[in-house]
Amino acid sequence: MPTQLLPLNTPEGLYPLIAIKDLPLNTSVANGVQILDNALFGPQGLITLGNNVNVLGYSQSAVVSSLEMRNLQALGSPNTDNLAFTLLGNPMAPNGGLLSRFPGLSLPALGLDFYGGTPSNTGYELNQYTLLYDGYADFPQYPINLLADLNAFAGIQFVHGDYPDLDPNNLPAGYNLVQLPVSPGNNGLENYYMITYPGLPILEPLREIPVIGNPLADLVEPNLTYLVNLGYGDPNYGYSTGYADVTTPFGLLPPIDPVDFAGAMVNGTQQGVTAFVNDISAIPATLPSLSLPDFSQTGGSSVPSTLPAVPTVTNASINGFIDALQAANTNIANAITNVSADTYAALLPTADIINTVLTTVPSYNVNLFLDGIQQFVNGDPVGLINAIGYPIAADVAVAALAGGFEVIVLAETAQEVVSDIVGAF
């Protein structure tokens, strides 16, 4: 293991999610893989110089690390004795990563490739940590469940950034570290962990509403959690309970027991109502006083008996007024220019998202349909169901992601426009 931490700068671009004018994912990742490989095996690379190295990859850097592992595995997995990997929030997590859920999908208009899963049994030690409902690393296995998709996207916004603040050996109250199962053929060098915690990311905006937000969130959370978890298969868990080292593509529908479902809804309703009543009971019976202060006791000013003198107009004051007008004119013109630039800059990612929805997604649907037909022709009658259902499930997931991307683009644009306007004054 290394005795010191050495940061490695990689592009980390993700157009249009990180920024409108940014590198697309495939370009950013390709550059990152080259940078990492050179840092390890270049003429002055850490492995070349005989060091023991544990590569820590977080988010896109986990994708870079995963592809480097794939490349090294193709070369026969050299240097397994002094090279290891630790991945946080891995979008290529074999069973849960967004980029591994949709095999064969590529969105060229957005520069977004779905690379598949991080390779297993490479010979390198691997430790992977995933936060529950992190939409990049814990994406639903059954994306036809729109609630699960939206919750996963909320997890991207509210959960994915929390990894640097967590210590797996000293987690906050309510958090738990769960080691996930691996396949019988795993070499034993790989550990996959899920960090669980109470609550749903999709309810975070509701909880921010003063007074009533938290009670309402507690009211719906038990039943909503059950419905969201169905998107992962087992309603008792917010993640897929299959083998963590096996790349697991999306499926159509999880098994649902109607009796269990009805019982869970009844129990969840009771829990939610109880929590709601307790929250409401804890709200103070009276609100703080909003009365105005008594200025007569605090030195409040009285109405002056005489009007102030009219200031004398001088050349200096006229020059100052003209200078102020010129500055205001320049600032307003710059603000209009910047607002216009920010507004039309948002049109490109919007057009790319629309292009993707109208061209790439239908093409992917055709391939999924043909896969189902091929499955049926080869003797599996379920193929006919998959031929119809898989495109629908994929469309639900892509629609949720595309809509989320567009919301972020518009929100970033609005923030920049407001900043431009405020900066003019």
What value does the mean pLDDT take over residues 97-111?
92
Determine, yes or no, domain membership for 362.
Answer: yes
Whether the Cβ atoms of residue 112 and residue 372 lie closer than 8 Å to each other = no
> Rounded mean pLDDT of 221-240?
97
**Is the pLDDT score of 73 beyond 70?**
yes
* Residue where a domain terminates, one of 281, 309, 343: 281
Please indicate, yes or no, whether residues 227 and 373 belong to a single structural domain of this protein. Answer: no
User: Do 70 and 169 have their domain in common?
Assistant: yes
**Among 166-180, 306-320, 338-352, the least confident range:** 306-320
Q: Is 172 exposed, middle or buried (0-12, 13-18, 19+ CB in 10 A)?
A: exposed
Structure tokens at 389: 């259902």
Q: Are residues 35 and 127 in the same domain?
A: yes
* 397 φ, ψ (degrees, to nearest 5): -65, -45
- Number of structural domains (the chain) is 2
What's residue 20's pLDDT? Answer: 59
Could you tell me if residue 314 is inside a domain? no
* Strand-pair category, 125-131 with 190-196: parallel
Q: Are 1 and 52 in contact (CB under 8 A)?
A: yes
Going by C-alpha positions, the residue among 182, 181, 183, 199 that lies closest to residue 238 is: 199
Residue-level pLDDT at 2: 43
- In this structure, the answer to whether residues 258 and 358 fall within a common structural domain is no
- What pLDDT was estimated at residue 321? 78
pLDDT score of 154 = 95
In this predicted structure, what is the pLDDT of residue 304? 54
- Both 53 and 162 in one domain: the answer is yes
Domain check: are 146 and 222 in the same one? yes
217-255 residues labelled b (16+ CB within 10 A) or e (exposed): bbbbbbbbbbbbbbbbbebeebbbebbbbbbbbbbbebe
With a pLDDT cut of 70, the percent of the chain lying above it is: 90
For residue 63, pLDDT beyond 80: yes
Q: Using one digit for the tens of pLDDT, what is the confidence trace for 3-46?
A: 677 888 888 887 776 665 578 899 999 999 999 999 999 999 99
1 pLDDT above the threshold of 50: no
> Which residues form the domain of 373?
328-423
Q: How confident is the model at residue 373 (pLDDT cuts 50, 70, 90)?
A: very high
Tokens standing for residue 355: 């292009």
In this predicted structure, what is the pLDDT of residue 349? 82
- Quickly state the pLDDT bin for 401 (edges 50, 70, 90): confident
How is residue 93 written in tokens?
């997590």
Q: With contact defined as beta carbons under 8 Å apart, do 110 and 16 qualify?
A: yes
Which domain-ending residue is among 281, 316, 343? 281
- Residue 121 and residue 50 share a domain: yes
What mean pLDDT is predicted for residues 128-135?
Answer: 98
Mean pLDDT on 395-415:
85
Helix (H, G, I), strand (E, B) or coil at 86: strand
Mean pLDDT of 65-82: 97
Residue 286 has pLDDT above 80, yes or no: no
Does residue 423 have a pLDDT over 90? Answer: no
On average, the pLDDT of the chain sits at 89
pLDDT beyond 60 at 301:
no
Q: What is the DSSP string of 125-194?
A: EEEEEEETT-TTTS--S-TT-HHHHHHHHHHHHHTGGGGGG--TTSPPTT-EEEEPP--TT--S-EEEEE
Write down the pLDDT at residue 44: 93
Contact of 8 with 1, CB cutoff 8 Å: no
Q: What is the per-residue pLDDT for 410?
A: 81
Q: What is the pLDDT of residue 331?
A: 76
Q: Do residues 256 and 342 share a domain?
A: no
Q: Mark which of 256, 281, 306 sits at the end of a domain.
A: 281
Judged against a pLDDT cut of 80, whether residue 308 lies above it is answered with no
- The mean pLDDT of 389-415, rounded to a whole number, is 87
Please determine, for residue 50, whether its predicted confidence score (pLDDT) is greater than 50: yes
Q: Which residues contact 409 (CB under 8 A, 6 or more apart)?
A: 16, 20, 346, 349, 350, 353
Tokens matching residue 197: 């915690």
Residue with tokens 């797996």: 168
CA distances from 325 to 154, 331, 333, 424 (A): 46, 10, 12, 12
Look at residue 315 in the predicted model and tell me its pLDDT.
65
Per-residue pLDDT, averaged over 120-145, amounts to: 98
- 336 and 393 co-located in one domain: yes
**Is 231 a member of any domain?**
yes
What burial class does residue 43 get, using C-beta atoms within 10 Å of its C-beta: 0-12 exposed, 13-18 middle, 19+ buried? exposed
Please check whether residues 109 and 247 belong to one and the same domain: yes
Percent of the chain with pLDDT over 90: 68
